[in-house]
Structure 1
């Protein structure tokens, strides 16, 4: 199967799941260690796409091929990360709020791209994958707890951002 995407489009498709997870991590008030756990969960959830969607050519194309060697995989990840960082800097993103707003805008752009170029199955699975990343990150730690006691798994801020991402991606609620 031949993917008909430009390099810029593939970078957007590769970067957006990372951005979704990072935005969810910043939406919570988990503290330094909690946010660190959420960022780790983000990386794990993104890479889970390799195993969870082995027949999705689009997801496989935007994730690093770990079978092809660690060096090549790291190079691909670094290229996408550098592309995303440069893009955020160019847009003047300098706060968590702006980062979250940009994540929602990227989701809108991805949704339009999926409609235009992906097969229905690829688009559905990409959306499921992206939303599962948001949910996994949000559910990693509790917000508002004291020494691990109390708090809630899915904070009001996370629910709000999740809803905005969900609307931008054109998905139905995973938290029904």
Structure 2
């Protein structure tokens, strides 16, 4: 896609990983066991892929999805994130993720300003979808809160990071 050519290779890798970052930020806010993490990860993936058929997603989001559909694109995204987040605590990872999302916003605002609003909205949607995927604080899937206070705070932080540019 032509929009990809607007970015340097390292910028594209960061953009490619940005939907993963948005979902991970929420998951790190209040991990809810293996099943909860799994449900939130699946929801993030579904939200990512939904951009393919969403007329409002914008060209940049669609280009990210197209690259993520290839094993090479997924590998680049994973390696980029692994390099940034390896060996740090969940609290430090959360702060690093928010800083990376701020950098994503700065890059998109500078290099693709017409795409920036739709792209940032899409990333916020990915985070919100992850937050709503698993209830927190229940027992065996019953009870609990759909979106915990920690997740709500993280959604606000993600939104702030994406608007920071």
* Match of residue 99 from structure 2: 105
Return the index of the structure with the highest Cα Rg: 1
How many angstroms does 1:14 deviate by? 1.0
Distance 1:64 1:95 in 2: 31
Alignment of 1:1-176 (within 5 A): 1-2=2-3, 3-53=5-55, 56-65=58-67, 73-89=70-86, 93-120=87-114, 122-170=115-163
Deviations 1:33-75 (A, max 9, x none): 1111111111221222222258733223222358xxx7xx112
Moved over 4 A (4+): none
Distance 1:29 1:145 in 2: 13
Structure 2 gaps of 5+ residues are none
Task: Give the alignment's Cα RMSD to 1 decimal.
Answer: 2.1
Structure 1 gaps of 5+ residues are 172-176
Distance 2:67 2:101 in 1: 24
Q: TM-score, normalised by structure 1?
A: 0.83
Distance 2:89 2:53 in 1: 33
Q: TM-score, normalised by structure 2?
A: 0.88
Contact preservation (8 Å) 2:67, 2:74? no
